[in-house]
Structure 1
Amino acid sequence: MSGAIKFNEEPILVENDLPQIGQSLPFFLLVNHALEDISLDAFRGKRKIINIFPSIDTPTSAQSVRQLDAIAAGLDNTVVLNVSADLPFAMSRFYDEEKLGHVTNLSTMRGRDMLKNYGVLMVTSKLAGLSARALMVADENDTVLHVELVNDLTSEPDYQAAIASLENT
């Protein structure tokens, strides 16, 4: 299944077979700051906010990471996972420069299949191969509570809707 988002009014085709509310999150194997493979299982028993974006080196992505770090500071038993194609070194640099302390950064450098499995792979435009911007929330058992594929890459996701989905668990 495919859908379209925009980047500066340019349509971008996204292979967006997104996880649905009530389904289980698909498995992933990504890379952390120490170049270690990390799977979804590493976060078992925790609620998850998964912030997927193209690159930390874009203003909207950087702002979403800052915003979710602030939100995560007030959440119990919840991890915020920032997922992008950035190398772990770039994500760590940003994390350190911004003095962030409540989010986990993960790279798709060895886990590119996650983009297709999560329905966020951009397949047209100069950005093909990167992820669209999405925000997903799951409970302690990996059951999806909230899914948002952001319609325009220059827009931030609806943080309040994501947090509201956690309040109902």
Structure 2
Amino acid sequence: MIMSHAISLLDEPILVEDNLPRVGEVLPFFQLVNHSLEDITLESFQGKRKILHFFPGIDTPASADSVRRLDALAETLPNIAILNISPDLPFTMSRFCETEQLRHSTNLSTLRGRDMIKNYGVLIMSSKLAGLPARALMVADENDKVLHVELVEDLTSEPDFAAALKSLTGH
């Protein structure tokens, strides 16, 4: 039986598959695609603290703003990997980041690796956006242990960056 969690898109209910990693667990394996169409795995970021930022696509104001904010945050935090994860083609994300002059985060596409969306519990199961990832933020330490998980309640809202930062810094 598949469990689900309800979120919304401007008051329209959306069901998301409910198997988010829990605080204290280890992040599941993933393999995604970077800007050069290379396969990238979780192991590529071994030894770094991580913020995984899931979103349905860069062409929405909340997604674009979140990517900008996280890139600025990455510049201020040592030993951090900010992973922006979406179904956007690598070329689309590269073009956005080049235009915005974002250089401190890593953009990964689910082009090859769509199972990650399901494995990380962010798969939208209902609505016109079914099959895309919900907006979520996950924080993990250098050993991939989950420190913070947030499934954003409305797709048009940004995650709670302060709570994510607090899980990394302790204050």
TM-score bucket (shorter structure): over 0.9
Please list the CA deviations of residues 123-149 of structure 1 after superposition, one character each: whole Å capped at 9, or x if unmatched.
Answer: 100000000000000000000000000
Q: AA paired with 1:11?
A: P
Give SS of 1:130's match.
Answer: coil
* Residue 76 (structure 1) aligned to one of 71, 75, 78: 78
Distance 2:26 2:63 in 1: 26
Shift of 1:31: 0.2
Q: AA paired with 1:142?
A: D
- Mark the runs of 5 or more structure 2 residues left unpaired by the alignment: none
Please list the CA deviations of residues 49-102 of structure 1 after superposition, one character each: whole Å capped at 9, or x if unmatched.
Answer: 011000001110000000001111100000100000000000000010000011
Matches within 5 A, 1:86-125: 86-125=88-127
Matches within 5 A, 1:1-169: 1-168=3-170
Give SS of 1:128's match.
Answer: coil
Give SS of 1:121's match.
Answer: coil
Give SS of 1:122's match.
Answer: coil
- Mark the runs of 5 or more structure 1 residues left unpaired by the alignment: none
Please list the CA deviations of residues 8-31 of structure 1 after superposition, one character each: whole Å capped at 9, or x if unmatched.
Answer: 110001002100000000110000
Q: Give me the CA root mean square deviation.
A: 0.9
Provide the TM-score with structure 2 as the length reference. 0.97
Distance 1:119 1:73 in 2: 28
Distance 1:4 1:38 in 2: 30
Aligned length: 169
Distance 1:72 1:164 in 2: 14
Provide the TM-score with structure 1 as the length reference. 0.99
Q: AA paired with 2:34?
A: N
